[in-house]
Amino acid sequence: MDRGRVTVVTLAPWTWSHGPPARAAPASARDGRPPMTSSTDLTAAPDAPPTEPAAPSRGRTALVLGTFVAVGPLTIDMYLPALPTIVTELQTTEAAVQLTLTGTLVGLALGQLVIGPLSDALGRRRPLLAGTALHVIASLLVLLAPNVATLGILRVLQGVGAAAGGVIALAIVRDLYDGRAAATMLSRLFLVMGAAPVLAPTIGGEVLRFTSWRGVFVLLAVYGVVLLAAGGRALRETLPPARRRPLRLGATLATYRDLLGDRTYLGLVLVAGLTMAALFSYVAGASFVYQDEYGLDQQQFGLLFGAGAVWLIAATQLNPLALRRFAPSQVLLAGVAVGLLAGVVLLVLAATSTGGLAGVVAPLWVILFSSGLALPNAPALALSRHGEAAGAAAALLGAVQFGVGALVSPLVGLLGNDARALGIVIVASLALAVVVLVVLVKPWRLEVDADVEVAVAH
């Protein structure tokens, strides 16, 4: 196992790469994997052997793949302004409606574990298009959902379908590029999709001006159909049969068992999952806190939610600059600790009804910014320990992140769906993250080469 060199890729919190272990940058040659060429023609014929064509347009590649990756955050965030309306129309409770968000996260977690290995065995193109088609079908079936239970099941299916875009699009980047070329492409790719969580609630709020909450899912289905048409024409297979891995359940389970046996890796994965839990508790509760507790309308909520996401994105873009001076473990510890302190401030202000809306928004923005520092570094440190099983390590990491988020986010509704409940869940999640970091990970003991590669990718 390659446990010395750390490649830090600041990824968006919504997705994680499940790249093939057999394809790595030259810097990872110690893993026993063959070096890659820096680029491959994206429009080459399916299953064609690697050649040396002219490099494709990286801007176009980033745009096409970015639109697939954006399916996840759009699916999670676009319907958030409608949550209070869904409660009324389906005659259910706020906690039950929040479980539909949990269902999406469960689907994303399961999809990480299933679709990643499938793409290693079957190639990238077919699972990507099949997952997108599943997302379209589930979105259309939401139009017929008679109750919140049916809606929750369909949201699980949406999450599974959306996971294909996040997992496979990043794997395609690993197929096509390495080194600096890969870093540049990841940067462009995540900048393209980074706008999705910012714009999604605003788009959803505008859709609600003209139609019901089900119209949001019509828009998601239309977006998926466009992706199927574009993907069918623009994307070609990037993993030829010679480099595919047989899909063996026993070998896959053995790899996961070995990963879970690494105490430091497990601790870093849990830290990433608990940080994501704090983030998703905000996503689950913000609509009710801003609209029901503080009286914002759907459009105002979308704008305020988007403004908060800007702080998250800004931190992920500043992370590479911080890594020029500090070790990844130091940035991780600082991010989690600052987030915990901001959570305590939020809880105190909410419990004492001090500061009004500003007293809630300001500490939440600090929490989002600190999460943007912590989220990239915990996974990067975890994945650096298992270069020989990078794909499985990334899949397990993504599954735990979305899985823990799915378990924790409903607690906001169960505790009252107000700012105080939001503060309690955030403080509890980040406090546990600090405990795991200190007890299991011991970041001051992590050894990192002086030559740390920083990929500037949102």
Alpha helices in 79-213 (DSSP H): 83-89, 94-122, 125-141, 148-176, 179-194, 196-210
Q: Which amino acid type is present at position 183?
A: A
Q: Can you tell me the distance from the alpha carbon of 378 to that of 357, in angstroms, rounded to the nearest whole number?
A: 32
pLDDT along the chain (458 residues), means of 10: 42 38 40 41 44 53 81 87 89 87 88 82 87 95 93 94 83 66 56 66 84 92 92 79 77 80 88 88 86 86 84 80 83 92 95 91 93 81 66 74 79 86 94 92 63 38
Dihedral sign, Cα of residue 449, residue 455, residue 457, residue 458: positive
pLDDT recorded at residue 25? 41
Is 283 within 8 Å of 101 (Cβ atoms)?
yes
Pick the CATH number of 7-39+54-455 from 3.30.70.20, 1.20.1250.20, 3.40.50.300, 3.30.559.10: 1.20.1250.20
pLDDT of residue 401: 80
| Integer Cα distance of 166 and 328 in angstroms | 24
User: Where in the chain are the domains?
Assistant: 7-39+54-455
Q: Return the pLDDT at 37.
A: 40
Going by C-beta distance under 8 Å and a sequence separation of 6 or more, which residues neighbour residue 77? 196, 197, 200, 201, 204, 283, 305
Residues 6+ apart with CB under 8 A from 56: 39, 41, 42, 43, 176
Other residues' Cβ atoms within 10 Å of the Cβ of residue 321: 11
Tokens, residue 166: 């996040």
For CA atoms 388, 334, 323, 66, give the dihedral sign. positive
Between CA 59 and CA 80 the distance in angstroms is: 31
What SS3 state is found at 290?
helix
Q: What are phi and psi of 9, to 5 degrees?
A: -115, 115
Nearest to 286 by CA among 298, 273, 275, 276: 298
